[in-house]
Structure 1
Amino acid sequence: MSFITENKYTFCGVVAILLWSSVAALIRDLSELFSPIAGAAMMYSISAIFLMCVMGVPKVKDFPMRYLLIGGALFVTYEICLALSLGMATDRHQAMEMSIINYLWPALTILLSVLLSPKKVNLLVYPSILIAFAGVAWCIAGDQGISLDILLHNIADNPITYLMAFSAAFIWAFYCVITKRISNGKNAIVLFFAATAITLWIKFFFSNEPSIHFTLPSSLTLIIAGISIGTSYALWNQAVIGGNIILLGTLSYFTPVFSTLFASVYLSLTLSGSFWQGVALVTLGSLICFIVTREKPDTNTKQTSNI
């Protein structure tokens, strides 16, 4: 892959990261306007339709079956875990905790990338991962200070949502790493979004959630959310296929900060100093990961591989 081509894919990832900053707040808003499952199902349906209009209707036979099965399963599972963890949080503040837990994935992506690389691993990767996890613990514990009892007590308040949020972070990191290896340069994001929407609708029809009622403001929010999230994932899927995944994983450390800023304004949240400190630690952990894993220019070769 040429240097220019890789930079093009990497740029797609940067734009996706900026759009991604609105995801947590929009999903939470939709869950309140409709319900957790219905809001997510409608959002992914609009995203899938939008992507079909922009990218065309894909043909299953055009994609490697291994990519469709493995990549699709990971994508659908991640999206459901993320959307429902945000939507089923007890309040908006806890939804922000779910968002920060999800943003462990950049550091985890780098960790998986270096572990799968034949190159020597810098041991500083591991403490940087711990810093990111410490940041999440700081956000969950709040002003009470970090202790195992406090963490367990807060998590016990809504254990399913915390489990889904942590699962989402690991699943997406694995998806980012494995997609580049099994996609053969193909992009099945439209199929993945459609599969996510269908799965959520099936879950909705078997749930006890109330019927759906539309208003003009809720409909506008739904359309904006669907198009924004669809665009971000389309760009990111291109990025992980041909971009510098370690660099993008690290650039995404900006996302927790931007996402928290956006959500605090959009959802009218007042976040404590300890919460912002936790966000900073998650960001710092990802940044250190990048610093200790970035490759030095090789004067003997014109192109190197990051994974």
Structure 2
Amino acid sequence: MNNSRSWLLGVFSILVWSGVAAFIRRVSEDTDPIQITYISIFFGCFFSILYAIVLDKEKIKPFGKLFLADTKLQLFGILSGIFLVLHYFSIYYIFSTDYVIKGNIINYLWPVLLYLLLKIYNKKKQYSAPSDFIFLIMSFLGVALTLSPKQEMGMLFFFSSNLYFILSILSAISAALYFFFSTRIRNKLESDALFFTIPLLTGLIISSLPFWIQNSIYEINLNSVLAGFFLGFFSLSSANIAWIYATSINKNPSFPSIAYFIPVLSTILVIVINGDTVDHLIISGLALVFVANIFIHIRQHSISEIKISISLLIIFLSISILTTPGEDSINSSLTEIAATIFALFAAFLLNRVWKKNEHENLILSEVINLAQKQINSNKYANSIILSFEKGILDMYICGSKSLKEKYLQLRNIIEYYIEDELERHELLSKIRVWYFQKNPVVSNPELLMLFLLGGISIIQLLASRTPSLLGDFTFTIYSATITFIIYIIYEYDRFGVVKKDNIESISGDLSFLDPSKEIYIPRKLERHFEYLIKFNQTFFWNEKGDKIFRINKRKIITSSKILSVTLFMCLIIVLFGLILEKKSISLLSF
């Protein structure tokens, strides 16, 4: 019941936020965007205060005392209000012009910028991963493609419309700073209904200052009042409350991922409702921004993540090199559209799989921690811990056992070694949840659809590519990246990724020689892994007398090897095709 309610509230919020651009563009002829901004902030603040009174009435008084006593909280409130006003003034103005689609895509740089801000000012000093900067570059390349004219594909025409572009960038930066300071406010409060009321209240005061200074009344349009009322009630207050409530009651870790579709849905709504047109460059730019937003928020940074992001960049840059769009270039447009849909769908599936793996690792870590508490009190602790760790290791890499056998093996270890009945029951319930979470989340029809999208884009690109040595080489890389992404999604979902750090945290006495920190287990090699563990391991003893073993590095299947083999096979295919093509030309000339 709670999950269905959370999905209804979440979808309601997504649809409301996605419809803002189309709504403002629709009423732009009879309204003033500046008036709409001020009035929407006013009503958003009013209804947010009402929601706070209804939902968190008992927390208002303590919150007021805390706000008056904490100067840092006051500073965060003022700064968040300033950037809120800048964001809505700039983006509402953009939405009222013909630049609405491009401005909307540029505006959604803010999740990437916000993530980097949070990483930079993190008290734990967690430095950004290399992939973070790749995603930042990916998002700006998406903006570049969005702003590039049809006849100059690939050129970075950032300032094709100076004022509109500057306002769009200002909107993205101010939105990132607004959410950054709002997050700092939320960390100091315990009320979800109050933390975004502060920026709205301070924003209302700041936006009213020009009227107070001039001591004059601005002539307000009735249509602007109505539009501002709807935006304030739905977008700035009701949708926020619904989203907070939905994310708090839904325990599915993948649930917040639906918010990534807002720029896509808003672009579709603008096209459908207002009849605006887009070219394939805008679609490609939107896809890159969308993919960057998804990947940068995945906490599980890895080498494969960087490779996948580079692969997605290669897809769009390859099309830019191989095709020269013109007025009658239908094939290049179809290639771009097919590749864009492929990238969007692949990113969504990868995000779902990563969320599942993250949830699995969390449950498994809890199982290990609970087991260690009980096992450490046992006088045979060393032998028991080694047996328990061996069971965990088998669950990860012993491919000859089925999932059910691995689950039963770990359950038997817990039932045999954990003496406390309550602790044993808690552990068994957790691994039961882990077992059901282990099932694949990507269905065979979804994999088939991904394969068809990739195949269509390859065929279309083959038909429209430039016949040259560079074209053949680029087409080879493009085909390899499509194959690589499909294969990785399949492997991640069915077998997961075993990281060296994760294994060492679970079983500190076990170590591997693989420098990439990843172990892929293709289905065809599953039967060899039991042999690998039994006969191809090096035993030695550490200072504590514990038995440690290493797995031979040569038996590890890494993503770099997969990509290398795929590239090599595609290169052979292309060279074979060139030889046949030259023979056919010589025969015709003869």
- TM category (shorter chain) comes to 0.7 to 0.9
Return the letter of the residue paired with 1:168.
Answer: S
For 2:204, the equivalent position in structure 1 comes to: 197
CA distance 1:163–1:130, shift in 2 (3 Å): closer
Residue 61 in structure 1 maps to residue 64 in structure 2? yes
Contact 1:27/1:86 (<8 A) preserved = no
Contact 1:24/1:259 (<8 A) preserved = yes
The number of aligned residues is 295
Residue 72 in structure 1 maps to residue 82 in structure 2? no
* Cα deviation, residue 90, structure 1: 9.2
Q: How does 1:232-251 map to 2 (within 5 A)?
A: 232-235=239-242, 251=258
CA distance 1:81–1:270, shift in 2 (3 Å): same
Q: 2:176 aligns with which of 170, 176, 199?
A: 170
* Cα deviation, residue 131, structure 1: 1.0
For 2:361, the equivalent position in structure 1 comes to: 297
For 1:22, the equivalent position in structure 2 comes to: 19
Contact 1:79/1:168 (<8 A) preserved = yes
Q: Which has the higher contact order (CA 8 A, sep 6+)?
A: 1
Contact 2:95/2:103 (<8 A) preserved = no
For 2:219, the equivalent position in structure 1 comes to: 211
- Give the Cα–Cα distance (whole angstroms) in 2 for the partners of residues 240 and 62 of structure 1: 28
**% identity of equivalent residues:** 21
Moved more, 277-286 or 19-28: 19-28
Residue 83 in structure 1 maps to residue 88 in structure 2? yes
Q: How does 1:275-294 map to 2 (within 5 A)?
A: 275-291=282-298, 292-293=300-301
Contact 1:47/1:226 (<8 A) preserved = yes
Contact 1:36/1:88 (<8 A) preserved = yes
- Deviation string 1:237-275 (CA, Å, 9 cap, x unpaired) is 67899999x978754321110121223334432222221
Q: 1:141 aligns with which of 124, 139, 148?
A: 148
Gaps of 5+ in 2: 302-353, 368-590
CA distance 1:162–1:120, shift in 2 (3 Å): closer
- Give the Cα–Cα distance (whole angstroms) in 2 for the partners of residues 133 and 201 of structure 1: 34
- Give the Cα–Cα distance (whole angstroms) in 2 for the partners of residues 271 and 209 of structure 1: 41
- Give the Cα–Cα distance (whole angstroms) in 2 for the partners of residues 39 and 201 of structure 1: 13
- Deviation string 1:45-70 (CA, Å, 9 cap, x unpaired) is 12222223333285562544356424
CA distance 1:235–1:25, shift in 2 (3 Å): same
* Cα deviation, residue 41, structure 1: 0.8
CA distance 1:176–1:213, shift in 2 (3 Å): closer
- Deviation string 1:124-167 (CA, Å, 9 cap, x unpaired) is 2221221122112222234343434x21x325344651442242
For 1:305, the equivalent position in structure 2 comes to: none
Moved more, 255-264 or 83-92: 83-92
CA distance 1:240–1:175, shift in 2 (3 Å): farther
Q: How does 1:38-187 map to 2 (within 5 A)?
A: 38-56=35-53, 58-59=60-61, 61-64=64-67, 65=70, 68-89=73-94, 92-115=97-120, 116=122, 122-143=129-150, 144-148=152-156, 150-151=157-158, 153-158=159-164, 160-175=166-181, 177-185=183-191, 187=194
For 1:36, the equivalent position in structure 2 comes to: 33
Gaps of 5+ in 1: 303-307
- Give the Cα–Cα distance (whole angstroms) in 1 for the partners of residues 118 and 254 of structure 2: 11
Return the letter of the residue paired with 1:79.
Answer: L
Contact 1:105/1:173 (<8 A) preserved = no
Contact 2:112/2:296 (<8 A) preserved = yes
Return the letter of the residue paired with 1:127.
Answer: I
Contact 1:67/1:183 (<8 A) preserved = no
* Cα deviation, residue 280, structure 1: 1.0
- Give the Cα–Cα distance (whole angstroms) in 1 for the partners of residues 239 and 79 of structure 2: 17
Contact 1:113/1:177 (<8 A) preserved = no
- Give the Cα–Cα distance (whole angstroms) in 2 for the partners of residues 26 and 70 of structure 1: 34
- Give the Cα–Cα distance (whole angstroms) in 2 for the partners of residues 66 and 10 of structure 1: 38
Q: SS of 2:174's equivalent?
A: helix
CA distance 1:173–1:44, shift in 2 (3 Å): closer
Q: SS of 2:130's equivalent?
A: coil
- Give the Cα–Cα distance (whole angstroms) in 2 for the partners of residues 243 and 166 of structure 1: 29
For 1:226, the equivalent position in structure 2 comes to: 232
Contact 1:110/1:290 (<8 A) preserved = yes
- Give the Cα–Cα distance (whole angstroms) in 2 for the partners of residues 76 and 300 of structure 1: 41
Return the letter of the residue paired with 2:220.
Answer: I
TM-score for both structures, normalised by structure 2: 0.42
Q: 1:254 aligns with which of 244, 249, 261?
A: 261
Larger radius of gyration: 2
Contact 1:9/1:243 (<8 A) preserved = yes
Q: SS of 1:269's equivalent?
A: coil
Moved more, 16-25 or 126-135: 16-25
